[in-house]
Amino acid sequence: MTAPAASDLPVVVIGAGPIGLAAAAHLIERRLTPLVLESGPAAAGAVRDWSHVRLFSTWAEVTDPAAEKLLAPTGWTRPDAAAYPTGADWAELYLQPLADALGDRVRYGVTVTGVSRAGRDRIVDADRESQPFVVHLTAADGREERLFARAVIDASGTWSTPSPAGASGLPALGEKAAADHVTYRVPDLKDPAVRARYAGKRTAVIGSGASAFTALASLADLTRDEPGTHAVWILRRGISGSTFGGGEADQLPARGALGLAAKAAVDNGHADAVTGFRTEAVERDGDDRLVLIGEDGRRLDAVDEIIVLTGLRPDLSFLSELRLGLDERLQAPTALAPLIDPNVHSCGTVYPHGVNELSHPEQGVYLVGMKSYGRAPTFLAMTGYEQVRSITAALAGDQEAAERVELTLPESGVCGGAGLFDDATTAESGGGCCTPAPALVQIGSAGAATLQIGGPETSGGC
């Protein structure tokens, strides 16, 4: 089959989440044809998975201007701009209506299994850039299909590939065998079945970001109604002034409040926390409980459940025939990585960026949204909306608009970025975090009532 001319083809958008749907709206505004491919049965599948969690961005910060224009003729009105939606609110009151407005430009139940240049694997140079993209799909019934595209915008996110408990980036020994007592999501303790899983149990929470704060506050709150409930917070580093985020200095107030709530929990002493612990193995004891073992040989007291919230990573497997330029550490586009690298960034903002920072050696393919950040955890929905505005302008030939910055990001007020500093020599006074000798501290339940003010940093909407 001869591939059609690229100019006659749609721009394929992978993923009907917040950024993918915004990309489609911007393409329509630019008089380009989008085709959104979504593996789930409805829009915003990942967001629906954490529907019980409240974002720490307001409605004004999680809706896209081009999307609002597309929705206006349907009678849609944005909810209270100052209110904080839950994941369920975001999906049901904005994202699904936006997908519905796009109509047959969104296809559900199709999984992208490969993207390449038509007739060219990644080795072949000849006439490469003149060939359209070919996208391979698998439908829910197993049927295989291929289609062609003039460009590909991958907004599939990172939700499906959570990072493991093992500090090496690989699953801890025994982690997979313990899968029936391990979750990689913030549990919804309003669900009776989920609540029963943790009530009266001892639970380890591994991680140091907003999701871990939310899980800890949730479990601390549960102790009030369910005696015997106990949380153990596992951190690979120490606790310092920057551990809990920007607090009152954060220009996203709810994000700062989440950190303050976590700090209040720590200060009130209702659960143990272990610092400087790098998980190497998970073993079952004689009572079928789980024992975490550190790389230094320490064995922690047994727990009943483990919540692993160590971040997410991009699935690049279906892009293996494309020539991507990715940072060797973050797996983010090489020009973007220095702007978001949590190993070196501390206070301030991520510089707004667009098509220049998101381009690859393979012209016409873009990773956007949370996936563009690779393993960096600091993504905001506003950033993704600016990304696709810039990219679609470039695809339409409007380079001036593509290079124009139309976004001001709120400062985090956080020194040490996401708190990924592992160098014990980093001075706390210099905005980093020291890693002291392993220690035990206490976590309390005070402030747990604010548990649902934070969205998972993995959502793309925080």
Residue with tokens 């079952």: 284
Q: What does the CA dihedral 233, 237, 241, 247 come to, rounded to 10 degrees?
A: -50
- Whether 262 contacts 56, CB under 8 Å: no
> Among residues 278, 296, 292, which one has the least CA distance to residue 178?
292
**Residue 417's pLDDT band (cuts 50, 70, 90):** very low
Q: What does the CA dihedral 68, 80, 352, 326 come to, rounded to 10 degrees?
A: -80
Does the pLDDT at position 182 exceed 50?
Answer: yes
**What is the pLDDT, as a whole number, of residue 197?**
97
Does the pLDDT at position 185 exceed 60?
Answer: yes
Does the pLDDT at position 403 exceed 70?
Answer: yes
- Whether 87 contacts 51, CB under 8 Å: yes
**What is the pLDDT, as a whole number, of residue 380?**
86
**Residue 242's pLDDT band (cuts 50, 70, 90):** low
**Residue 435's pLDDT band (cuts 50, 70, 90):** very low
**What is the pLDDT, as a whole number, of residue 351?**
73
> Among residues 307, 256, 300, 265, which one has the least CA distance to residue 280?
300
**Residue 238's pLDDT band (cuts 50, 70, 90):** confident
Start-to-end CA span in the chain (Å): 44
69, two tokens = 């224009």
Across 82-196, the runs of DSSP E, i.e. the strands, are 106-108, 110-117, 133-139, 144-149, 151-154, 182-183
C-alpha distance from residue 240 to each of 169, 269, 414, 421, 450 (Å): 24, 17, 12, 11, 22
Indicate the average pLDDT of the chain: 85
- The tens digit of pLDDT for each residue in 332-390 reads 999 999 998 887 654 335 677 999 999 999 999 999 999 999 999 878 899 999 999 99
Does the pLDDT at position 436 exceed 50?
Answer: no
**What is the pLDDT, as a whole number, of residue 423?**
38
Worst-scoring range by mean pLDDT, 104-108, 174-178, 263-267? Answer: 263-267
Worst-scoring range by mean pLDDT, 100-109, 249-258, 267-276, 449-458? Answer: 449-458
**What is the pLDDT, as a whole number, of residue 252?**
55
What φ, ψ does residue 364 adopt, rounded to 5°? 95, 5
**What is the pLDDT, as a whole number, of residue 208?**
85
> Beta 34-38 vs 106-108: how paired, if at all?
parallel
- Whether 238 contacts 434, CB under 8 Å: yes
Pick the more confident residue, 443 or 264. 264
**What is the pLDDT, as a whole number, of residue 343?**
74
Worst-scoring range by mean pLDDT, 34-38, 137-141, 180-184, 448-452? Answer: 448-452
Worst-scoring range by mean pLDDT, 170-179, 272-281, 305-314? Answer: 272-281
**Residue 22's pLDDT band (cuts 50, 70, 90):** very high
Does the pLDDT at position 228 exceed 80?
Answer: yes
**SS3 (DSSP) at 14:** strand
Nearest-angstrom CA–CA distance, 374 and 371: 5
**What is the pLDDT, as a whole number, of residue 255?**
60
**What is the pLDDT, as a whole number, of residue 4?**
72
- Whether 26 contacts 398, CB under 8 Å: no
**What is the pLDDT, as a whole number, of residue 9?**
97
Nearest-angstrom CA–CA distance, 292 and 307: 12
Q: What is the DSSP letter of 91?
A: I
**What is the pLDDT, as a whole number, of residue 216?**
87
- The tens digit of pLDDT for each residue in 67-84 reads 999 999 999 999 999 999
Element (H, E) at 38: strand 34-38
Worst-scoring range by mean pLDDT, 9-13, 89-93, 405-409? Answer: 405-409
Nearest-angstrom CA–CA distance, 351 and 310: 25
407, two tokens = 């976004």
- Whether 399 contacts 188, CB under 8 Å: no
Count the alpha carbons within 13 Å of 227 in the hemisphere toward its beta carbon.
0
Does the pLDDT at position 431 exceed 80?
Answer: no
Does the pLDDT at position 142 exceed 70?
Answer: yes
Count the alpha carbons within 13 Å of 456 in the hemisphere toward its beta carbon.
27
Element (H, E) at 439: strand 439-443
Mean predicted confidence (pLDDT) in 325-332 = 96
**Residue 296's pLDDT band (cuts 50, 70, 90):** very high
- Whether 276 contacts 294, CB under 8 Å: no
Report the Cα 333 to chain-centroid distance in Å.
16
Mean predicted confidence (pLDDT) in 10-35 = 98
Mean predicted confidence (pLDDT) in 186-190 = 95
Does the pLDDT at position 452 exceed 80?
Answer: no
**What is the pLDDT, as a whole number, of residue 200?**
95
Mean predicted confidence (pLDDT) in 279-285 = 97
**Residue 323's pLDDT band (cuts 50, 70, 90):** very high
Does the pLDDT at position 239 exceed 60?
Answer: yes
* Sequence-ordered list of residues with C-beta below 8 angstroms from that of 316, at least 6 positions apart, any chain: 324, 326, 331
